[in-house]
Structure 1
Amino acid sequence: MENLKSEKVLTAKELASYFDHTLLRANATVSEFKKLCDDSKRYGFCMVAINPAPVKLCKTFLAGSQVHVGAAIAFPLGQTTLEDKLSETRNAIKNGADEIDYVVNLTKLKAGDTAYIESEMARITDICREFSVVSKVIFENCYLTEDEKKTLCHIAAKVKPDFIKTSTGFGTGGATLEDVALMKKETEGSGVKIKAAGGIRTLKTALEMIDLGVSRIGSTSSVAIMEEYMAHSPLL
């Protein structure tokens, strides 16, 4: 049997609080969003991660609960203009989003236009601060060199969004332990937290990410992970 013991002693409530429970498929139905929200309330997940269109719907489903609604901006490609990203961010917040996860413009990054990347990050983060909304920056590490990952980390350490995030889950790869370790090292002391997302489907992987220091985990498998936790809880 796999060793599922974490360096941290976590209660079920504490483990659940790491999760941004995710439903970002284009063909998601209203009943699926209702289940997403019901499951999130049942387990005590931190947030539901959704596209901007169903923000009002999920806000209604989650009324009276502590579960946040998170909107994914310029998702999953990041290839909208800065003006579009700012408008989408403001509109999502107006509709009730408590958190914003936006995707970086990787074309600008790969062109070496770090001024654009910093401006994009700062302006979206500033809107979030204005409305006391949590800000998260999605890197999409599967498409980046190590130097590009470090560049984004250093910009984030300067701008100070609430979180930097490994992946959308829609790219060619998801969160890796190596990327999380790099992001943690390159932002050390900045106060910026790490969110791991993409391919986290088992309790073992979730605990490994937590042990590395992530503060959030984005997953479509949050319920399955919690059920696995409960099945193995005597070992934890």
Structure 2
Amino acid sequence: MATISERELAATLDHAILKPELTRDQVDAELDIAAEWGVFSVCVRPSDIAHAASRLAGTGVAVGTVIGFPHGTTSTAAKVAEVRQALADGATEVDMVVNIGALRSGFDDVVTDDIRAVVEAASGHITKVILETAYLDDEQIARGSRLTEAGGAHFVKTSTGFAGGGATVEHVRLMRANVGPAVQVKASGGVRSYADALAMIAAGATRLGTSGSAVILGEARRVDAGEGATGAVDDSSY
């Protein structure tokens, strides 16, 4: 498998800061990690957006957040309101959770309309749709990917990391195969090492969600230096 430089890999990472129990000091420590390693973005809890945007100002690290998280069962109107507030607070990307029950029920119009409303509320900002693949079979993952594209979103994403399962190479490949070139794939949940990151990218992911950015990029740095990668991180929550 081809290697990827630290800088190239950092440009794919959304550093997750989503655990509900995190204190402000813990959030700040994670924001500083994101800035130190130069990741593409952080993905923070909605209540942390304004603080994160202020702390990261001038670092080049974007601020994203989650919508309808983690279950996707809030109403479309509530998701739209969340998006509008998130943008007002300084978010530049949103990761929405699909209406999982509607997807499993075959209510494709409900799913598509929910996605489209969030995309429209985001007003051109990057919108990612989390399918929560741990709850879905292959047919539902493939159909959810196609509905993501029909709703106008920019990314289809594997997981919240809070459902007892995360990204797999097989699911990333399945998602990639069911969307056109205009839609990208984000792998999140269980991306714990440099090797995991390489595998997800090889399967078709162009963005990775992880709380283990420092470990993964530390491994990439060692590879760049010809030392090899050895570490892993407990990233079971994202």
What range is the shorter-chain TM-score in?
Answer: over 0.9
Conserved in 2, the CA contact under 8 Å of 1:101 and 1:138? Answer: yes
Conserved in 2, the CA contact under 8 Å of 1:157 and 1:190? Answer: no
State the alpha-carbon separation in 1 of the partners of residues 139 and 56 from structure 2: 41
Name structure 1 gaps, 5 residues minimum.
Answer: 1-5
- What does residue 163 of structure 2 align with? 171
Conserved in 2, the CA contact under 8 Å of 1:51 and 1:73? Answer: no
Q: Shift of residue 159 of structure 1? A: 2.6
State the alpha-carbon separation in 2 of the partners of residues 207 and 112 from structure 1: 34
Further displaced range: 79-88 or 224-233: 224-233
State the alpha-carbon separation in 1 of the partners of residues 60 and 217 from structure 2: 18
- What does residue 211 of structure 1 align with? 202
Conserved in 2, the CA contact under 8 Å of 1:160 and 1:191? Answer: no
State the alpha-carbon separation in 1 of the partners of residues 132 and 8 from structure 2: 27
Matching residue's letter, 2:193: T
Q: Shift of residue 99 of structure 1? A: 0.5
Q: Deviations over 1:112-160 (max 9, x none)?
A: 21111000011111122x2x31100000001001111111111123233
- What does residue 3 of structure 1 align with? none
Matches within 5 A, 1:66-105: 66-105=60-99
Conserved in 1, the CA contact under 8 Å of 2:5 and 2:220? Answer: no
Conserved in 1, the CA contact under 8 Å of 2:49 and 2:63? Answer: yes
Match of 2:117 among 111, 114, 123: 123
Q: Shift of residue 39 of structure 1? A: 1.4
Conserved in 1, the CA contact under 8 Å of 2:146 and 2:178? Answer: yes
Q: Shift of residue 65 of structure 1? A: 2.0
The TM-score normalised by the length of structure 1 is 0.92
Q: Shift of residue 10 of structure 1? A: 2.7
State the alpha-carbon separation in 1 of the partners of residues 98 and 153 from structure 2: 13
Matches within 5 A, 1:12-51: 12-51=6-45
Conserved in 2, the CA contact under 8 Å of 1:78 and 1:104? Answer: yes
What is the number of residues matched between the two proteins?
A: 227
Matching residue's letter, 1:109: L
Q: Per the alignment, in what secondary structure is the counterpart of residue 210 of structure 1? A: helix
Q: Shift of residue 110 of structure 1? A: 1.8
Matching residue's letter, 1:186: N
Matching residue's letter, 2:110: Y
Q: Deviations over 1:56-79 (max 9, x none)?
A: 010111011211111111111111
Match of 2:221 among 219, 230, 233: 230
Is 1:221 the counterpart of 2:212 in the alignment?
A: yes
The TM-score normalised by the length of structure 2 is 0.91
- What does residue 64 of structure 1 align with? 58
Q: Shift of residue 235 of structure 1? A: 6.1
Identity of aligned residues (%): 32
